[in-house]
Homo-oligomer: A and B are copies of this chain.
């Protein structure tokens, strides 16, 4: 890994340019991503123009913005003019509105219209990320005509691998893969090549849902239609993959009790990182004060049986872990559409048994050593508590995220850390009630 920052700091532009000229787009992207923030724009300016345009489009919008700030006005305009409409919309989306507006006005009429179109759709809708330029075929065309059409109008279009086919009334009929078109007999009609199954997304539909559909049916691009069924764009597989990867990142980060911050980690400031974690932490800390209350209530009791307190972290730790296990497994199964709310009862029955067996195994292992090292009363209390807490945790960990999703809350919000914290307090109550019953 070449450290370009050092060279740029020494103002050795000649060597830096030489190094960059020997790298491919992916290599340059890596250098730009990993170099010091203050040298990113300078390094970009050293690139050959054709490479610069190509590399720019691959960069994260955060870096794109940083670089644009370092470039002169006409260069900025040229770069923006040459971006795909959907990539440009993504960049504008993350800019301060007044900056985006100024840049938008600098674009040619055609590109400005395409970008405004995309930005007009609701956030997180398919409309925002679709490619508004496409080559459409008619059912009545011959294969030969269709290929000619692709050849004349395909040069400016991002997505020519899945070609939408339009009925005579203007509605979408199906998608034809470019490969099938190339392989077909030139005299055949397009209508004979397509199937009677049509998959497409609505322009205001959720991005994640449409992307998961594209992945499942295996298209290279999914047609996007307006409310009157007319074609307005296509969702390409690479944008869909980007959406799904972001969904997974969001779920993973939330499962660790943070808000996703949408900036590469090394570029995120300490303040950004602290904020993305602080809110969650505060909520969890407030929920955790429940445990202080429970312990306070049982304080006298705790005083007379101090040994009980030794097992508190262990017990609630195990409860939290089992709850986390159930929550992460169920949230992932819902994201992949393997489990739906209608399966609630099936899941409940499964988790109650899984929780019970896990608790029982741990309880059986603990029974003897705790009895011998401490005493048999404590051992029995622990045995019963482990089984009850484990069962409760497994059920809460699965039922709560499913219910959250049903009532419209992102289930990842009710994920592992929240479940653990809730199980902590209820687990303590169970523990002391069992202790009271056994020890008295």
Binding site for B on A (CB under 8 A): 1, 24-26, 29, 58, 147, 150-151, 154-155, 160-161, 178-179, 182-183, 197, 199, 215-218, 220, 237-238, 241, 244-245, 248-249, 251-253, 255-258, 264-266, 270, 273-274, 277-278, 280-282, 284-285, 288-289, 291-292, 295-296, 299, 302-303, 306-307, 309-314, 316-318, 320-322, 324-325, 327-333, 336, 338-339, 342-343, 346-347, 350, 353-354, 357-358, 361-362, 365, 416-417, 420-421, 424, 428
Q: In the complex, which of the residues B197, B280, B310, B328 contacts A25, with contact meaning CB atoms closer than 8 Å?
A: B197
Cβ-defined contact, A218 with B238, below 8 A: yes
**Closest chain B residue to A428 by CB distance?**
B313
22 A-B residue contacts at CB 8 Å? A1-B342, A151-B182, A154-B182, A218-B238, A249-B336, A256-B324, A257-B325, A257-B328, A258-B328, A265-B330, A266-B343, A270-B354, A281-B322, A281-B358, A282-B361, A291-B313, A292-B313, A303-B306, A306-B306, A317-B421, A320-B320, A320-B420
Q: Considering the chains assembled together, what is the distance between the CA atoms of A197 and B22 in angstroms?
A: 10
Contact of A318 among B199, B284, B324, B330 (CB under 8 A): B284
- Copies of this chain present in the complex amount to 2
User: Cβ of A312: which chain B residues have Cβ within 8 Å of it?
Assistant: 309, 312-313
Given A245-B244, A258-B325, A310-B299 in contact, is the A265-B339 Cβ separation under 8 Å? yes
Q: How far is the CA of A324 from the CA of B415 in the complex (A)?
A: 12
- The reply to whether B266 and A346 form a contact with Cβ atoms under 8 Å apart is yes
A321 near B257: Cβ-Cβ < 8 Å: yes
A339 to B150, CA, bound (A): 42
- List the 4 shortest-distance A-B pairs measured between CB atoms, nearest first: A256-B328, A291-B313, A265-B333, A24-B197
A288 CA / B255 CA spacing, docked (Å):
21
Interface contact B324-A417, CB-CB below 8 Å: yes
Q: Are A274 and B354 in contact (CB under 8 A)?
A: yes
List B contacts of A354 (CB < 8 A).
Answer: 270, 273-274, 277
Q: Please give 8 more A-B residue pairs, beta carbons under 8 A apart, in addition to A1-B342, A270-B357, A288-B317.
A: A150-B182, A161-B179, A253-B328, A255-B255, A274-B354, A292-B314, A295-B313, A303-B306
A289 CA / B362 CA spacing, docked (Å): 12
Q: Is the CB of A328 within 8 A of B252?
A: yes
> Which residue of chain B has its CB nearest to the CB of A334?
B265
Measured CA separation A245–B336 after assembly (Å): 9
**Inter-chain contacts of A238 with B (CB < 8 A):** 215, 218
A161 / chain B contacts, CB cutoff of 8 Å: 161, 178-179, 220
The answer to whether A328 touches B277 (Cβ under 8 A) is no
Residues of B close to A183: CB separation below 8 A: 150-151, 154-155, 160
Provide the residues of chain B in CB contact with A251, threshold 8 Å: 252
